[in-house]
């Protein structure tokens, strides 16, 4: 118990130390609520029985200690929070997310989670996107309500908050692309599967809307055919250094996701959806790393086997020393440096990969 208390105190010190960079001036939004998978999980999976965890060194080596982030340092949404002028958002399952701490936002993301409930089940427990929405509902009812005089004030607060959604990658790499464990690839063509994901996601977003969410940011899936994990499974030549077939599949999802953002903008009154084109940005980072000050774009900084993608970063493994030169931290996830570049191009004032406006502009609406 004593060590847990020390841990929480230490976490708090680091949390607020890290979080203040954006919190000095007036925040652009009252809160930032994050939904998704391991690309944005800030430690929720530390608290559940799962194989999908990153609570050990060298994860967090540039954060100060392992937090449960699947990165050497900060994630895209950590930088996103800073662009919004907010502190880092605590994970829902951590003792830090209760009471007043939840007023600036909460992170519900869970590694191995997907749009479909079955996705990632071979890892054990994870909070599916449906489950994350239920947790958001619990936050509103159990924690947020008491800070507002009346329902109208709470509605206004939720309507001005930014809702970040980064989900869908696992529905491919931990479902559709695992025919030995999941039957989806036998049941659906690539086009039909993308349709199923978007139809499911659309209903889930409507649920968030009904809970009061209005400003929503939909992050497209990155080029999964370029990640070390997928490269390690393919022999011979790869077009542009990536697995084209997988990238084509993900693109079917992204095209529909961008269309969904447009559709929802017109069908859900008072809502505003922004689509982040992570695919094209990340594909360019992999193809032209020097343009971004990066050097190694097809190998994990911490991994094992071909491209460091056969087995991901192991406890106490020695990572590469020049982490700032790598696109990939482990077999699946970008480095802190890559995350910083993605956030700059999707969250900042000068975001080039955000449609129809940047998240910065969305927050100012």
pLDDT averaged over every residue in the chain? 93
CA distance to 32, 84, 115, 203, per residue, from 214 (Å): 12, 16, 20, 15
- With a cut of 70, say whether residue 46 has pLDDT above it: yes
- With a cut of 70, say whether residue 17 has pLDDT above it: no
Res. 240 pLDDT band, cuts 50 70 90:
low
Of 333, 344, 354, 358, which is the active-site residue? 333
Place of tokens 């084509």: 248
3-state secondary structure 168-203: CCHHHHHHHCCCCCCCHHHHCCHHHHHHHHHHHHHH
- With a cut of 60, say whether residue 238 has pLDDT above it: no
Signed CA dihedral, 127, 249, 336, 302: sign only:
positive
Q: What is the pLDDT of residues 25-34, one digit of tens each?
A: 689 999 999 9
Which residues is 217 bridged to in the sheet?
Answer: 164, 274
- C-alpha span between 213 and 362 (Å, rounded): 13
What pLDDT, on the 0 to 100 scale, is given for residue 235? Answer: 74
- With a cut of 80, say whether residue 16 has pLDDT above it: no
> CA nearest 88: which of 70, 67, 72?
67
- Weakest-pLDDT range from 49-53, 71-75, 168-172, 350-354: 350-354
Q: What is the pLDDT of residues 217-233, one digit of tens each?
A: 999 999 999 999 999 99
What pLDDT, on the 0 to 100 scale, is given for residue 236? Answer: 60
DSSP of 261-320, one letter per residue?
HHHHHHHSTT-EEEEE-HHHHHHHHHH-GGGGT--EEEEESSEESGGGBSEEPPTT----
- C-alpha span between 220 and 218 (Å, rounded): 6
Output the pTM of the full model. 0.94
Of 18, 37, 38, 171, which is the active-site residue? 38
Residue 284 is a catalytic residue: no
Q: What is the pLDDT of residues 243-293, one digit of tens each?
A: 999 999 999 999 999 999 999 999 999 999 999 999 999 999 999 999 999
Q: What is the pLDDT of residues 100-134, one digit of tens each?
A: 999 999 999 999 999 999 999 999 999 999 999 99
Res. 21 pLDDT band, cuts 50 70 90:
very low
> CA nearest 78: which of 56, 115, 105, 45?
105
Place of tokens 């100012």: 364
The region that residue 338 occupies, defined by phi over 0 for left and psi between -120 and 50 for alpha, beta otherwise, is alpha
Residue 330 is a catalytic residue: yes
- With a cut of 60, say whether residue 4 has pLDDT above it: no
Residue 333 is a catalytic residue: yes
Residues with Cβ within 8 Å of 363's Cβ and at least 6 positions away in sequence, in order, are 28, 29, 84, 162, 215
Of 42, 297, 330, 358, which is the active-site residue? 330
3-class secondary-structure state, position 18? helix
């Amino acid at each position: 118990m004593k060590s847990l208390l020390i841990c929480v105190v230490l976490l708090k010190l680091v949390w607020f130390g890290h979080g203040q960079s954006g919190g000095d001036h007036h925040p652009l939004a009252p809160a930032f609520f994050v939904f998704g998978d391991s690309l944005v999980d800030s430690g929720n999976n530390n608290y559940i029985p799962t194989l999908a965890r990153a609570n050990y060194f060298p994860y967090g080596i540039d954060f100060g200690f392992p937090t449960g982030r699947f990165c050497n340092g900060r994630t895209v949404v950590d930088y996103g929070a800073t662009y919004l002028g907010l502190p880092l958002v605590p994970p829902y399952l951590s003792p830090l997310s209760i009471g007043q701490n939840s007023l600036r936002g909460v992170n519900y993301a869970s590694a191995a989670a997907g749009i479909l409930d079955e996705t990632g089940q071979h890892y054990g427990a994870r909070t599916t996107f449906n489950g994350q929405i239920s947790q958001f509902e619990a936050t509103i009812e159990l924690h947020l309500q008491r800070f507002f005089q009346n329902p109208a004030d709470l509605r206004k607060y939720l309507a001005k908050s930014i809702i970040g959604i980064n989900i869908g990658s696992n529905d491919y790499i931990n479902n559709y692309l695992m025919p030995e464990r999941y039957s989806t690839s036998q049941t659906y063509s690539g086009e039909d599967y993308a349709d199923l994901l978007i139809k499911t996601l659309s209903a889930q977003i409507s649920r968030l809307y009904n809970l009061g969410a209005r400003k929503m940011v939909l992050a497209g899936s990155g080029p999964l055919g370029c990640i070390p994990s997928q490269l390690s499974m393919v022999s011979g030549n790869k077009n542009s250094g990536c697995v084209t077939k997988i990238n084509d599949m993900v693109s079917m999802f992204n095209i529909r996701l961008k269309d969904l953002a447009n559709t929802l903008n017109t069908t859900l009154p008072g809502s505003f959806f922004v689509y982040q084109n992570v695919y094209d940005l990340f594909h360019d980072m992999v193809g032209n790393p020097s343009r971004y000050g990066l050097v190694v774009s097809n190998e994990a900084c911490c991994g094992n086997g071909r491209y460091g993608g056969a087995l991901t970063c192991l406890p106490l493994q020695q990572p590469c020393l020049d982490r700032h030169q790598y696109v990939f931290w482990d077999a699946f996830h970008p480095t802190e440096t890559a995350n910083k570049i993605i956030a700059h191009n999707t969250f900042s004032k000068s975001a080039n990969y955000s449609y129809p406006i940047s998240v910065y502009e969305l927050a100012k609406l």
